[in-house]
A and B are shown apart, each in its own frame.
Chain A
Amino acid sequence: MRRRSHAYPPHIFGRHYLRNNWDLNISLIPVFLAGALFYGLGPSLLIFLIALLGAVFAEIIFSFALSQSFSLEDGWAVSQGILVALLLPPSCPLYLPALAAALAVFLGKSLPGGLGRSVFSPVVLALVATMILFPGAITYRWPPLEEVSQGVVRSRSWLDHFVMGSGSGALGQTSLLAILLGVSFLALRGSLNWHVPLMYILGSLPLLLFPQVDPRAQIFACDVFFFAFFVIPQEGKMPLVPKARMLYGFIAGILSVPLRFFLGPVSGIILSQPFASAAIPLLNFLFLPPGRNYLFKPARFRYPQIFPKFLKLFRAMLTWLRKGKKAEPKGSEENISQQVSEEAEGSPPANIVKIREIREGLSEFCTCCSLEKLDENCQSFLNKSPANGWRFFQAVEGEEVQGVLILAPVEQSLAPLEGTGVEHVVCLRVREEKRGSGIGRLLLEHALEVSKDKAGISVLAHRDLIPSGFLEHFGFQEVVRKATWKAFFKNFREAKVEWAPLKPKSRSHTGKLFLEAVLPAHCSLLWENYRSALQVASQIEEEIEVAERVINNPEDFSEFPIWGIYLNGKLLGSGIVAPEKLKAKIIQKVAGFRQKGEAGGAT
């Protein structure tokens, strides 16, 4: 995830807005205690702990598997576990709490792709799912209002009901007193959301008008109160504006009346929430002022990591299926490699491309081929003569030169493969508009043919600058990753290449992060790499300044970084990496600084 930049105000935050979930958890404790008193401490504690562990483990596992952000420290997963435990009857089998809690986390957060993605309450979804999966496992027995003890019917007073409830249904719905205690705690902490509960209770009152219904049973069964205060007003499962919230609560309350009448108290109430939740987008639409209809366009959604994996697998299967005909390059997302693979199937370039070796007139080698970037890199090689074993190839289409390849014996080249007797591809360039049309492939094939009698051929290339799968297609293997560059520069120094000085920028900004580079003007490869590094840096943070430092002394090249992160002139990290890794590394550095507090310190 992105780190918050310290550079932007505000520099302080109302952290108290984060405590909502923990407040909810604490306010549920008296409710649980009342249930434990009523049903016995042993079974209720067992169910409570199983549900809690189920929710927490599910959160850890699913977050890890889907690479989503954890919701443990903000108390969300814990609150879901507790709510599930309090909504289950204490007589249920012991696997149910864990299963329901895991389902709540999975259906409420992991599957939609985040906390705010779904309008349905996770707990309710989980309970409905368990009811469907295990019909009959959850039974809320509707108890008698009068207790039959020793043959004598003893009717209970209102106060008894208020304190101890009517003993119906779920673990958390025993005592109205406990629920009100929890609610008052929420109100004291300032995290009570009163719009929805109030209107929900108001909306569910019409049930009392039915003559068949005992008002005492309905009120003191506490299910309405428990739902109204703890389950329904969850953040993100409500409309955004207070007015819309009130209407939403009222709709849910009204819906609960027939459902409770026909389905029974608890299941009726459970079902009232998803029905009302379906109206949330409409309520948002109505109560946010007009002209914002765009709001309800679904947000762009990236499914984490699973989809690319499937894609990769699918492509691998395709490759495997085709393998019977001909060897294919590995699948990748880039167009270039696809074009390469198309050509590999047998379609040659449109015009006939010839490859010729040039032995004389090397000074015109570059000028005649008129490749834009070629001279930067290759002109220095043109001093070498064919007598030393250097070979120069051109790909000619008609009269125009479209690509160049230079082969050298490895002892004289820059690659760290000395003494192996292989040939080294010093330069392989194709004109920009002709890239992807197979010229590079033809050139390399030719080079392979020519050097058949040699020990082999080596290519020094950067992974980001060639089409992926291109070298693998010819059977090249990656030999060195990191050490290459040091050897590269070592050899460069010995070759006494001249370095053109660049105009340095002023570096008077202090206390900022610098992306600094030494630019070898002759090496177009490094130049491109540096450009991509600059691009990446400018995308990440404003604080990263870019400076170009020029070293004219060749002694310094041995510890030469293509890029380096500097703070006040001190080198903090350097190396050569792909843009993605560079990005990660810069972010890490910046974060590290801030942690140390060095960025704010005096220089």
Chain B
Amino acid sequence: MSAKKLHSRVYPQGVWVPLRQEATIDRLIRPSTPPKKIVLPLQEKTGSFPLRPLVRPGISVKRGQQVAVPLDKSSLPLFSPVWGEVVALEKAVVPWSAEPVETIVILPRKDEPLLPISVPKEDFPPQELRALLFRMGVVCADLLLEGKSSPLTLVINGCELEPYITSTQRLLEEKTREIVGGVELLIRAFEAALAIIVVSTERREALEDIQDLIFVKKNVVLNVFPPRYPLDHEVLIRRILRLSEEDSVILDLPTVVASYEAVFLRQPFMEKVVTISGPSVRNPQNIRARVGTVLEELVNQCDGFAEDPGMIIMGGPMRGQIINSQEVPVTRFTPGFVFLPKRAPFEESDCIYCGACINYCPMGLYPVFLTEAIKSRNWGALEHLRADDCIFCGTCSYVCPALIPHQKYLKRALRRRKEE
């Protein structure tokens, strides 16, 4: 059965998750103060291959100097965001990896300008542009272009549907020119026929700015999604835009801005806009932080906590990950940190068969029956119920009135199956 037949509606029914962006949405991105310590983990994502360090303790590094080299295409080169001295090369615990990850610890000496990089010629052929983007640690285009057919469509994912997180939205409003320039650049680099900028905002000023800039351009289109969770997911974006895996590449907005800065300003990807928000933070805001800044310093820049945070979430509350300490460094893939107050423990109760999870599931799955099958250890039924189609958006757990964590059960079951 084709996806089209299964989902006849254009927009799948999502949930209006209260976005709670009021605290940070109107505030300008603040440049961060010079960090006291930089921690660069050599594995930045779950599952990526660890980098090989180019430095050893005792060596002094410059801002923009490459400190680690990738061994395959799944990871990107790493740059020192400060002038300073490498203090240690030690193992540290990071939330995205089960095992301790090797990190480079740099103590900054003083804040000095960027290391001048030799400027190559202006007009790049696509091949060189791709190589440059990879060299600057922005994106590995060759990896994304594997197995793609032409004409290629480039989708820029500017949706922001995680509550409290506004970093993408602020980039959209403040860096409009850079975004449009970056999109043009990426079209050339990816040799794409069309670029679609997808946003989920309802703020008209931002939309009009982009609209003005792309008005004359024929190969850039703006598409506004309703702000319903989880329409920002890649699978759903592809379905809504009627694209397939083979003819489209989806990039997120920070990558676009970084690619602009990498090519036109010769600045490697070593600064990331991070949202520090949540009811527990005294002065929530977006900070343009150096990659490797420890979370504790960012919190101090936001005047600390108004109350004791019970939960620290890396990423948004819908898909993020709970972290236990504030020693976590910012990476190139961190959208933000949310601090929520303590929550009373609660229990899941029996299913009342209200059908909410079925009606809200964007993939048309049946979470009730999946959970039932898992609880009765009916593993054969998982395939039958298309458990592999699940995109782990968590909508079923969010809407369940009986507070049954459907997503947790499915994740565990799939992980167990993988282990077997």
Contact = CB atoms under 8 A, between A and B. Distances in A.
Interface in A1-48: 1-14, 17-18, 20
Interface in A361-382: none
Contacts of A594: 345
A348 B384 CA distance: 52
Contacts of B215: none
A240 B407 contact: no
Given A3-B345, A18-B401, A69-B350, A9 B407 contact: yes
A294 interface: yes
A16 to B, nearest CB: 9
Contacts of B364: 289
A2 B409 CA distance: 12
A455 interface: no
A512 interface: yes
Contacts of B398: 10, 12-14
Nearest to A242: B359
B349 A11 contact: no
Interface string B369-396: 1001101101001001100000000100
Given A11-B318, A238-B355, 18 more contacts: A4-B346, A4-B403, A4-B408, A10-B318, A11-B317, A14-B399, A17-B399, A69-B350, A115-B350, A115-B351, A116-B350, A240-B358, A240-B368, A292-B369, A295-B369, A299-B372, A508-B93, A602-B327
A514 to B, nearest CB: 13
Contact of A116 (B312, B342, B353, B359): B353
A496 interface: no
B350 A8 contact: no
A511 B350 contact: no
Interface in A569-593: 591
Interface string B394-416: 10011111010101100100000
A9 B403 contact: no
Contact of A5 (B91, B340, B368, B408): B408
A324 interface: no
Contacts of B350: 68-69, 114-116
A1 B348 contact: yes
A18 B403 CA distance: 9
Interface centre among A12, A68, A115 (most CB of B within 10 A): A12
25 contacts: A1-B347, A3-B347, A4-B347, A4-B348, A4-B405, A5-B405, A9-B317, A9-B319, A10-B317, A11-B318, A12-B398, A13-B398, A17-B399, A18-B401, A69-B349, A114-B351, A115-B352, A240-B358, A288-B366, A294-B384, A295-B369, A506-B100, A599-B324, A600-B312, A602-B324
Interface stretch (B34-42, B141-149, B303-311): B303-311
A10 B100 contact: no
Contacts of A236: 352-354
A376 to B, nearest CB: 30
Contacts of A74: 349, 401
B308 A17 contact: no
A510 B401 CA distance: 34
Interface string A299-316: 110000000000000000
B311 A600 contact: yes
**Interface on chain B toward A: helix, strand, loop, or mixed SS?**
loop
B310 A600 contact: yes
B325 interface: yes
Given A2-B347, A14-B15, A235-B401, A9 B324 contact: no
Contacts of A294: 369, 373, 378, 381, 384-385
Contacts of A599: 324
Contacts of B321: 9
A572 B321 CA distance: 25
A242 B375 CA distance: 26
B320 interface: yes
B320 A9 contact: yes
B302 interface: no
B313 interface: yes
A208 interface: no
A4 B405 CA distance: 7
B163 interface: yes
A510 B93 contact: yes
Contacts of A17: 356, 399-401
A512 B100 CA distance: 14
B403 A13 contact: yes
A17 B344 CA distance: 18
B6 interface: yes
A318 interface: no
A595 interface: yes
B88 interface: no
Interface of B: 1, 6, 15, 17, 91, 93, 100, 163, 308-313, 317-322, 324-327, 340, 342, 344-356, 358-359, 364, 366, 368-369, 372-373, 375-376, 378, 381, 384-385, 394, 397-401, 403, 405, 407-408, 411
Given A4-B347, A597-B342, A12 B163 contact: yes
A297 to B, nearest CB: 8
A512 B324 CA distance: 8
Q: Using C-beta atoms within 8 Å of the partner chain, give the interface range for chain A.
A: 35 or more
Nearest to A5: B408
B317 A511 contact: no
Interface centre among B310, B326, B364 (most CB of A within 10 A): B310
Contacts of A2: 347-348
The 6 tightest CB contacts between A and B, nearest first, are: A511-B324, A240-B355, A116-B353, A300-B376, A10-B394, A114-B350
B369 A597 contact: no
A241 interface: yes
A509 interface: yes
Nearest to B321: A9
Nearest to B369: A295
B358 A8 contact: no
Contacts of A240: 353, 355, 358-359, 368
A492 B29 CA distance: 66
A136 interface: no
A239 B347 CA distance: 26
Contact of A511 (B100, B325, B400): B325
Nearest to B346: A4
Given A2-B348, A3-B345, A292-B384, A603 B403 contact: no
Nearest to A280: B353
Given A116-B350, A591-B345, A600-B310, A20 B381 contact: no
A20 B325 contact: no
Nearest to B364: A289
A195 B389 CA distance: 29
A291 interface: yes
Given A1-B347, A236-B353, A603 B320 contact: no
A299 B374 CA distance: 11
A278 to B, nearest CB: 16
Contact of B351 (A13, A116, A238, A597): A116
B394 A595 contact: no
Contact of B318 (A12, A299, A602): A12
Contacts of A506: 100
Given A13-B403, A116-B353, A236-B353, A7 B322 contact: yes
B336 to A, nearest CB: 14
A129 to B, nearest CB: 22
A8 B358 CA distance: 20
A510 B325 contact: yes
Contact of B352 (A1, A3, A235, A511): A235
Contact of A11 (B320, B358, B375): B320
Nearest to A245: B355
A8 B309 contact: no
B348 to A, nearest CB: 6
Contacts of A18: 401, 403
B405 A597 contact: no
Given A116-B351, A241-B355, A508-B91, A11 B405 contact: no
Interface string A138-177: 0000000000000000000000000000000000000000
Contacts of B348: 1-2, 4
